[in-house]
Amino acid sequence: MNVTAQSVWSNCLEFIKDNIQPQAYKTWFEPIKAVKLTDKALSIQVPSKFFYEWLEEHYVKVLKVALTKELGENAKLVYIIKMENTYGNKQPFTEKIPSSNRSAVKSQDVDIPLNNKNPELKNPFIIPGIRNVKIESQLNPNYNFENFLEGDSNRLARSAGLAVAAKPGGTSFNPLLVFGGVGLGKTHLAHAIGVDIKDKYPEKTVLYISAEKFTQQYIDSVKKNNRNDFIHFYQIIDVLIIDDVQFLSGKTGTQDVFFHIFNHLHQNGKQVILTSDKAPVDMQDIEQRLLSRFKWGLSAELQSPDFETRVSILKNKLYRDGVEMPEDIVEYVAKNIKTNIRELEGAIISLIAQSSFNKKEVNIELAKQVVEKFVKNTKREVSIDYIQKVVSDYFQMDIDTLQSKTRKRHIVQARQLAMFFAKKLTKASLASIGSQIGKRDHATVLHACKTVDNLSSTDKQFKKYVDDLTKKLTV
């Protein structure tokens, strides 16, 4: 029987398959190719240096046993690392030998000693020069479900988060995309899911990262010619949490690499959690193939909390800080700060600080002063109803006419302007704007915004409409 590199490696794989987890086999052994067999040395090709180091760190024993069974006691395994050059120049293969056999065969073409004091950065989260395969989750334990209070505004997102934490990768909520305006708790919920998973499944590799940091790491990997290492690092994560995914807009290279990482994780039953300030349908300059994947699981919106939830959030904050405050003060703050949770908590912290630093009693007067500063410093977000009223008054028509199905040119233009300003001045989704302005769909709103942009640059009279309304709505 003709013994070839392929036949020896196939037999090794049969043995390895029986001795490790199916998921690990798929991730770490299926991509390997047998290249050549010389005497008792089998050469295998792996995709990157990171890949090789991971095999050496975790699977060297099973590899040694499998190879010894096939080639005897003097068997040697040689790694060929297919170096990827992102600028298109071909580099020579690098051969590496496991530590148990490295004295037997010398590396050819490029020699990177195994005891390199400053290895390439295989884990983007550790300091260069420190050999460490442990992946820190980057989670903040203070952001947990216990202090993420449930209300009508977040019930769906919170419940989905709990379901994912109970069974990561095993629900239909994969990916779970949590979206909503600034300060509504997206980052808190993302961390809470990760923290809960780490508690329930300590063996799982969980990683939280902002899209901005992910992009920077990708750029660094391209500069250092180790894009493969970057990809393989992310492909071994069990639960990947990416915050502010809208930051990837317009960054085609990062989107492309994230697309491949996402596919690998999803196909292998790993959990992906994303946060964004926009619904997928409203994300611009994100490739369609990525957007379609964002919609595979569940998109859950976090909305501004109602009065009861705001009161609960403030009471919980005071309880955690060990501070007592009269009920009427708490209700006054909750009643007057409606925009987001971050401002709500900021106001109560400011109130406590004013009271303790200036030795003032916490009363309604002090609460009014603090809230006034917060409301004054916060850019007022106009409502869609208010925009429709201003536009209707400007064109001397009633709101029912603005919302009607008529195709008369001046009414259509007024409606398009209302949609344009609703998109520009509110955080509402396109679907939400459409439903509130005459029960239209998101595509109509998108078309309206494009039409207003085009007419503003070609029609002087129309530009005057836009300028006049801008003054009325932003004063």
Measure the CA–CA gap between 463 and 246, rounded to whole angstroms. 30
pLDDT band of residue 334 (cuts 50, 70, 90) is: confident
Tell me the pLDDT tens digit for each residue of 284-324: 778 888 888 887 888 888 877 777 777 877 777 777 767 67
Q: Is the peptide bond before 175 cis (omega within 30 degrees of 0)?
A: yes
Greater confidence (399 vs 328) lies with 399
pLDDT at site 126? 43
Measure the CA–CA gap between 45 and 33, rounded to whole angstroms. 5
pLDDT at site 292? 83
pLDDT at site 274? 92
Q: Is it the case that residue 3 has pLDDT exceeding 90?
A: no
Write the DSSP symbol of residue 45: E
pLDDT band of residue 356 (cuts 50, 70, 90) is: low
Average pLDDT, the chain: 78
338-363 residues labelled b (16+ CB within 10 A) or e (exposed): ebbbebbbbbbebbbebbeeeeeebe
Tell me the pLDDT tens digit for each residue of 264-284: 888 888 899 999 887 887 777
Torsion of CA 284, 290, 291, 297, to 10 degrees: -150
Tell me the pLDDT tens digit for each residue of 452-475: 999 999 999 999 999 999 988 876
Kind plus residue range of the DSSP H or E element containing 52: helix 49-58
pLDDT at site 351? 73
Tell me the pLDDT tens digit for each residue of 96-139: 444 444 333 333 332 223 333 333 334 444 433 333 445 778 88
Domains delineated in the chain = 5-96 (3.30.300.180), 155-302 (3.40.50.300), 307-377 (1.10.8.60), 384-474 (1.10.1750.10)
| Annotated binding-site positions | 183, 185-187
Measure the CA–CA gap between 449 and 451, rounded to whole angstroms. 5
Q: Is it the case that residue 64 has pLDDT exceeding 90?
A: no
| Annotated binding-site positions for ATP | 183, 185-187
Beta strand 33-38 pairing with 41-46? antiparallel
Measure the CA–CA gap between 149 and 189, rounded to whole angstroms. 10
pLDDT at site 374? 64
Averaged pLDDT for residues 151-174: 85
pLDDT at site 124? 47
Asked if 178 and 303 count as a contact pair (C-beta separation under 8 A), the reply is no
pLDDT band of residue 234 (cuts 50, 70, 90) is: confident
Lowest mean pLDDT among 259-263, 415-419, 425-429: 425-429
pLDDT at site 73? 83
pLDDT at site 229? 81
pTM, entire model: 0.54
Averaged pLDDT for residues 183-192: 86
